[in-house]
Structure 1
Amino acid sequence: MAGPLTTIGFDADDTLWQNETFFRLTQDRFAELLADHAERDHLHERLLAAERRNLGHYGFGIKGFMLSMIETAIEVTQRRVPASVIAEILSTGQEMLSHPIELLPHAAEVVADLSGRFRLVLITKGDLLDQERKLAQSGLGEMFDAVEIVSNKTEATYRSAFARHGDGADRAMMVGNSLKSDVRPALEAGSWGVFVPHGLTWELEHAEAPEGHARFHEIADLGALPALIERIAR
């Protein structure tokens, strides 16, 4: 029988701070740059296909996104994309890599409230340097007992992380905005999975909600997390 809840994992991007918003703004700029070569919807489909193909090569994050934009620009212009457009794509990507952190509502107070009462583990995907930068700027870093920046999030990821930094997956909870990456594989590992929807979620992170699973919960925002934890931890 599972023991009490002792460890809480948090996703970072679009759970603790804004992320997808900046990707969408950059995609809008990308569409403007290539407006003479492709319709916006078609360009979006081509870019998404490139991102899907390239995940195994570049992983998740801004650098892979930049390279996928460049690849898509070369494809839709039949290799005639001007150097000025490539330069602009690189510039917008560099802006993303230096954009100030914008914490989501309740993130700071909830992490502070839970810190010290539970083991807190940040489990996030993306570019190592970029994720480290965002965590440092967020002001939340010292409240986490451990940080895991991983190439992907699977059942094995959570089993391993919660074994190293907690009392095992069955005594842990994962909180995040992605059903595909944060919730479903955590449930498969035996943890609680808490879905915190974000207004914008990358298409490649969409998945069906595991309705009916005893350890699945959905909350409107992070402000509702402490009360949910109190109910579970009784």
Structure 2
Amino acid sequence: MANINLERRAEIGREKRARTRLQLMTAAKALFSKRPWESVTIDELVREAGVAKGTFYSHFNDLEELAAAVADDLINAFDAMIQPERLSISDPILRIAFGCDAFLRQSLSDRSWALLATRMARSHPRVGLLVRGRLSDDLRDALDKSPQAGLTPELGVEMIIGIVLQVAAAIGDRRFDDHHRPEALRCMLAAIGVGRRDAASIVARVARVRGSVPRDILMGGSPAGGSSSATESA
């Protein structure tokens, strides 16, 4: 009986620790969606989370470590969201366009998520490594099949990420809306050497192969207490 009680106590302790960590992560997402994570203080964070300051240090050494955890969570959730459909696409350029479209649609669905994603991607080196690797593989595959003079996978990845993050940031700031999305995809495709007619065809194909994308899968709901729904268009 004593052993059972000890085991149960340990289990309760682990559950409590997991809940507290989730509180800190949720609070961080809410604050990071409003401004750069470097400007957030630990005092603000624990106040948002409703925990004691000492509790923060039992989970993270500093805010940078917390930011890395948020980044990992963001990457893993986004990757999980798009992989089933992405892996069903054989054309590497279409896979790239699909992934970018999914990112922009999520940004339109939840603008506070867009602000968090773009700010974290720009300020923390761990954000985007998995997606960057997938992009590099897809672009390398595409360039093997159809080489573009002067374009390397490394350069192409930087151009794709740069365009998508800039558009997502504009969406988060409410300067862009859904009718900018197809043209943003066409511009991204043009940057990696796809002709305008082919780019228009690829964007139309993305609309056909795209399935339903869960709107709040990445955040478990809007971190800032609300979300904006995007109007569907091609």
Normalized per residue, the structure richer in helix is: 2
Q: TM-score, normalised by structure 1?
A: 0.29
- Give the structure with higher Rg (CA): 2
Q: TM-score, normalised by structure 2?
A: 0.29
